[in-house]
Amino acid sequence: MTAPRPVAWFQICARCTRRIDVGPSPRQWCPVCHGVLLSPVAVGQSPMAVRRNFRWVASAPGSAPRRRVRRVPTPTPRYDVMPTWGLPIAPRPHPSAPESPTDRLARRSTSLLTATVALFVAAAVAELGRYIVLLVSRDRLMPAAVLALSDAAVWCLSFLSLGVGLVAAVATVARVVRLRRSAYARHGLTDPRRTRTLYLGSLLPIVTLLLPGVFLTELARTSEHRLRLERLVPWWWAAWVGNWLLIAVTVAWRTVDGIQAQANGVILTAITDLVAAGVAALTLTLIRRADGRTVRGDTRTLTRWTVLPTPAAATTPVSDTTPAPEDTAPDQLADVR
């Protein structure tokens, strides 16, 4: 018998990519460029047959090398039925439509009404300040700076309150339109009033005395907060009509000649500003009640009252023969939120 021939091996340099025949004993460094030699490959075998040549292991300086643990491969998990766990299959959310300018204005209606209340109160204070200046100027001459400051405060606050009040009125109508749509949609209906009818009926000077109250009454009857709205709408309607009548009286009073008539006109203007501030505050309360919120704008929590028996009645049994006491303690009411 002949002895078996030794297997010839070769290695490839990782730096110069030369093929080095190493024979039966492998080497580590290339004899040409002193680069690192890859794992030995048998002659006649493809170098790609070797899966990997290096395994990088990170270790702290001076620490002992970690021992390699061979893990026994586990069988692939199989399921007899389709598994029920996993991510929920939900439809992709549709991108929301961009908000229109009218919707943005309606969303800011409460803040605009709050600003209107503050500006009308400030305008009333400015009118009262002018009246005090008129009273003092009867006996002595007022400085020109005080008169200029009083006139500037009156004119600026008057125009500013009127401008913000008009914008708040348009925003409130837009908010009422949205509230009416949601209230009718809750019953599976559509709003019988067209949007143009709601705007024109609420903003035109003559018909605004009647139609806004009608629109709000219809909203109160279809809203889920009907009980809270139906008690407030008549008061708002009366204040709204009274405010317009007071505005007409104030404008007519301005045409009367005379120093005392003009002074009385200043007081009447201050009263008109205060009434307008009250109407704006009442409108703000109405809008927040229609949204299901409190007057301050907080989320309203429901309160349920339940009958709670007294401890004596709960522990002492009462028989048919035992006479009932004359003074029985009333049942207590527990506030359950």
Q: What is the DSSP string of 90-121?
A: -PPPPPPPPPPHHHHHHHTHHHHHHHHHHHHH
Residue 268 to residue 258: CA distance in whole angstroms: 15
Summarised one tens digit per residue, pLDDT across range 287-305 is 988 887 777 766 666 666 6
Percent share of the chain, pLDDT over 70: 75
**Looking at the predicted structure, is the pLDDT value of residue 96 above 70?**
no
Instruction: Check residues 26 and 326 and name the one with the higher pLDDT.
Output: 26
* Angle in degrees, CA 136, 137, 139, rounded to 5: 80
Query: Under 8 Å CB-to-CB from 215, ≥6 apart: which residues?
Result: 176, 180, 193, 198, 201, 202
Give me the pLDDT at residue 147, please. 86
Give me the pLDDT at residue 258, please. 78
Residue 128 to residue 134: CA distance in whole angstroms: 10
Task: With beta carbons less than 8 A apart as the criterion, state whether 173 and 211 touch.
Answer: no
Give me the pLDDT at residue 5, please. 56
Q: Is 314 helix (H, G, I), strand (E, B) or coil?
A: helix
Residue 134 to residue 258: CA distance in whole angstroms: 13
**Token digits for 3?**
């002895």
Q: What is the mean pLDDT of residues 242-258?
A: 88
Instruction: Check residues 158 and 79 and name the one with the higher pLDDT.
Output: 158
Residue 275 to residue 242: CA distance in whole angstroms: 9
**Token digits for 54?**
């290096």
Round the CA-based radius of gyration of the chain to a whole number and report it.
44
Q: What is the mean pLDDT of residues 148-174?
A: 92
Quick one: which H or E segment has residue 332? Answer: strand 332-336
Instruction: Check residues 303 and 259 and name the one with the higher pLDDT.
Output: 259
The amino acid present at 82, given as its one-letter code, is M
Give me the pLDDT at residue 314, please. 47
**Looking at the predicted structure, is the pLDDT value of residue 332 above 70?**
no
Task: With beta carbons less than 8 A apart as the criterion, state whether 178 and 186 touch.
Answer: no
How many Cβ atoms are within 10 Å of 173's Cβ, its own excluded? 22
Residue 232 to residue 213: CA distance in whole angstroms: 11
Residue 217 to residue 176: CA distance in whole angstroms: 11
**Looking at the predicted structure, is the pLDDT value of residue 25 above 80?**
no
Q: How confident is the model at residue 97 (pLDDT cuts 50, 70, 90)?
A: low
